[in-house]
Amino acid sequence: MKTDQIFHFASEFQLETGGKLPAFQLKYTTLGQLNKDRSNVVWICHALTGSSDFTDWWKELFTDTTPFDPRDYFIICANTLGGCYGSTGPLSINPQTGNPYYHSFPEITNRDVVRSFDLLRQHLGIEKIHTLVGGSLGGQQVLEWAILQPNVFDRIIPIATNAFHSPWGIAFNEAQRMAIAADATWKEDDARAGVEGMKTARAIGMISFRTYDTFQQTQSEKTIDKTDDFRAASYQRYQGQKLANRFNAFTYWTLTKMMDSHNVGRNRQSVEAALSTINAKTWVIGIDTDLLFPLREQEFLAHHIPDARLDTITSLHGHDGFLVEFDQFKQSVRKFLRTEVKKETLV
């Protein structure tokens, strides 16, 4: 049975960059039941605009025909700190002022997020996590959490992600924030401030999420006579409006900044040294056509995380392949779990 719950943390929460939250909450979704020794937990970290309800955007990976069958596992996902699907974020009420944070919401990092997740884990009395899984921004959080708590996780599966965000990725995110900032309403303290700019931002982002071949195959014209109103143009407008119907510009701004600041080596000896502290059995998954998080970034992870292995997904859909190629992902996870069972049998 799927349940949605709220975790309240009533104490001051110090943030990595010096700010603080007087308190916070996390909305989390669970599916399945904990077994007697609480050894069957699968924790999901969602992507940039995702929610805690993984059955909405990744449901094909958690059914009775998948490796993580909810009859066998207790699956949990928390909406990221800074989000807008029930966790504390820019539209939340600041208990110190009685008004929404809006522009005053403090800067947060992935390291802050996984610390908040870890407080939830402790609240639930979960000492060990069978598998930690996440893609894109969620994959960045997987890595940070596995470094923060190396003895908590038996296995991790970081998907289409990186150890530090690239100049290429930061440039795309900055272009999107420039679009939001160009919206005349952006300076207002209103929940819908910057929404038109966010539509443009999402259209920019879609180009990085897909590939030339994606658009060529899905948005080509059926006739050679057109001079305007192209399918690719209407598709971009559609994607902008689709996000505007369910998201807000403050959260988009906050989470893209969080992605930009991702670097597992910060205040540690180096990126490589930080990755070397991961104890979990690691199965890195990359997508061969990913432009935003290219395969070389997953190769780097697999090279520097002890005994990690890399599996590559083939997809027409570029970075968004991690939300599309369900059959390949199920096969990849099965391969990982089978490999680990064989290793344990040999030992």
What are the backbone angles phi and psi of residue 325, rounded to the nearest 5°?
A: -85, 65
- Residue of 92, 136, 208, 261 with catalytic role: 136
- Cα dihedral across residues 230, 235, 241, 245: positive or negative: positive
The b/e string for 268-295 (b: 16+ C-beta within 10 A; e otherwise) is eeebeebbeebbbbbbbbbbebbbbbbb
Backbone torsion region of residue 19, taken as left when φ is above 0, otherwise alpha when ψ lies between -120 and 50, otherwise beta:
beta
Cα gap 248→255, rounded to integer Å: 11
Cα gap 97→162, rounded to integer Å: 37
- Residue of 53, 112, 183, 290 with catalytic role: 290
Cα gap 230→248, rounded to integer Å: 27
Query: Would you say 86 and 80 are in contact if contact means Cβ atoms under 8 Å apart?
Result: no
Kindly give the pairing relationship between strand 24-31 and strand 74-78: antiparallel
Cα gap 17→7, rounded to integer Å: 24
**Does 303 participate in catalysis according to the annotation?**
no
Find all residues with CB under 8 Å of 282, minimum gap 6, and list them: 146, 155, 156, 157, 158, 301, 302, 305, 306, 307, 308, 309
What are the backbone angles phi and psi of residue 215, rounded to the nearest 5°?
A: -65, -40
Query: Would you say 100 and 90 are in contact if contact means Cβ atoms under 8 Å apart?
Result: yes
Cα gap 65→134, rounded to integer Å: 20
- The three-point CA angle 331-335-339 to 5° equals 170
**Does 46 participate in catalysis according to the annotation?**
no
Cα gap 290→211, rounded to integer Å: 8
**Does 136 participate in catalysis according to the annotation?**
yes
- Residue of 130, 165, 262, 319 with catalytic role: 319
Q: Which residues are catalytic?
A: 136, 290, 319
